[in-house]
Amino acid sequence: MQSTAYHQLETLRENNVLALKEAKEAGQHVVGMYCLYSPAELIVAAEASPVMLCGTSQKPIPTAEQHLPRNLCPLIKSSYGFASTDTCPFFYFSDFIVAETTCDGKKKMYELMEELKPVHLLQLPQIQDKESALNYWLSELEHLKEKLEQTFEVTITDEKLHDAIELLNDERRSLKELQDTCRHKPAPISGMEMLTVLHNRGFALDKRATIQLVDQLTTELNERAEQGISPLAANAPRILLTGVPVGIGSDKVVRIIEESGGHVVCFESCGAYKKVEPVRQSDNPLRDIAECYLNIPCSCMSPNTHRYELVTKLADEFSVDGIIDLTWLACHTYNIESFSLRKHIQSAANIPFLQIETDYSESDSEQLKLRLEAFMELLANR
């Protein structure tokens, strides 16, 4: 894409490795995170930098399999592999890792990761609508707050929390506005480009600068949308991708969808539309944070009806032609949930639905191509 803002965001990850090294040498504290459930507000309020860690590449998986079983989700294997081969600079520079008990595979993997780096494990409840679950989650955030205060010798005041919430709500606002540019028909940015921005921005140290950059891109994209400019064919079937987290390196399905003539206009996934709801502010900021995070529509929750509602709503708002539910191999929660999601979609909206189960490797690319091309033909013939 011809855009300075996009180009800067495209190279942001690499550039931030250097920035991170310098910041670290100047005494900046860094806390690594893998998952959307890690409350970055607390880390920011502790004057440390929250950074996303690597886990979206096939490369370190063979090494990870020396310790982990093969039939485990590729995201868990990749995350552990990057850590154990020491090939993720963000992991290397992290003072400690904030992790959470989202699924069985992850929580047991973190036990092994502990050997490599201090891990603070948040015990995540698995139900959303119970007061007891919220109180439990709140107490977990209190533990994290104490841990941050002790480790970095700071006091996290309500005021600091408030400021952190403001900053990260602004980040959510900017990411939502960016993704909302794709409500235009045709969408002004390809799914692969959108994913690049959403993925890279997580590695940024300077949140304010990144928000500005994203806003600048959004303005440009809205201008393009007004003029009807799109990088892909104007009549390309519009796809909503839901399910497991995707990023650069684990973008196989997004790539094949767009090579097959589709256009991913909405990502109902962790770094994307699952992350746009702001923290509601009251006089108890920690509780506000706990509430916001517990509402994330992840398949580790049971039941996870918010996800069905969100997918249906987004499908309508983004005028999508088809829904693709991506499941990483051995991700039981998303895999099982796909059955219910399909049923929900079929009763709530007349939109074709396809589940894809795969891993990070290229071994099934041809088979995936067949399924995705056939799905695009199905959509085009409707």
Partner 1 sequence: MNQISIGIDIGSTATKAILLINGTVAEHEIIPSGWDPKQAGKEVFDSVLKKGQLEAEQVQIVVATGYGRITLPFADQRVTEVTCHGRGAHHMAQGTQLVVDIGGQDSKVIALDGCGRVTDFIMNDKCAAGTGRFLQVMAGVLDLSLDELGKLALESSPATISSMCTVFAESEVIGLLAQGASKGAIAAGVIDSIAKRIPTLVSRMPTTQSITFTGGLANNPAICHRLEQSLKLPLCVPELPQHAGAIGAALIGNDKLTKNK
**For residue 354, what are its two tokens?**
């396809």
Cα separation, 331 vs 244, whole angstroms? 8
| Cβ-contact 239, 187 below 8 angstroms | no
Site for partner 1 in 342-361 (CB under 8 A): 352-353, 357
Q: Binding to partner 1 by residue 366, rule CB under 8 A?
A: yes
Q: Which amino acid is present at 325?
A: D
Q: Binding to partner 1 by residue 70, rule CB under 8 A?
A: no
Q: Binding to partner 1 by residue 336, rule CB under 8 A?
A: no
Q: Estimate to the nearest angstrom the gap between the alpha carbon of 108 and the chain centroid.
A: 21
Q: Binding to partner 1 by residue 363, rule CB under 8 A?
A: yes
**Minimum CB separation from partner 1 for residue 373, in Å?**
5
Residues 6+ apart with CB under 8 A from 338: 243, 325, 327, 355
Residues near partner 1 (CB under 8 A), total: 15
Q: Binding to partner 1 by residue 367, rule CB under 8 A?
A: yes
Q: Binding to partner 1 by residue 377, rule CB under 8 A?
A: yes
**Minimum CB separation from partner 1 for residue 364, in Å?**
5
- Our CB check for partner 1 shows the closer of 116 and 380 to be 380
Q: Binding to partner 1 by residue 201, rule CB under 8 A?
A: no
Cα separation, 241 vs 253, whole angstroms? 9
Cα separation, 301 vs 313, whole angstroms? 19
Per CB under 8 A, the list member of 18, 234, 336, 370 interacting with partner 1 is 370
Q: Binding to partner 1 by residue 373, rule CB under 8 A?
A: yes
Identify which of 199, 275, 218 has the alpha carbon closest to the alpha carbon of residue 13: 199
Q: Residue 72 in 3-state DSSP?
A: coil
Q: Binding to partner 1 by residue 208, rule CB under 8 A?
A: no
Per CB under 8 A, the list member of 21, 70, 143, 382 interacting with partner 1 is 382
| Cβ-contact 46, 95 below 8 angstroms | no
- Our CB check for partner 1 shows the closer of 66 and 347 to be 347
| Cβ-contact 50, 40 below 8 angstroms | yes
List of residues contacting partner 1 (CB under 8 A): 352-353, 357, 363-364, 366-367, 370-371, 373-374, 377-378, 381-382
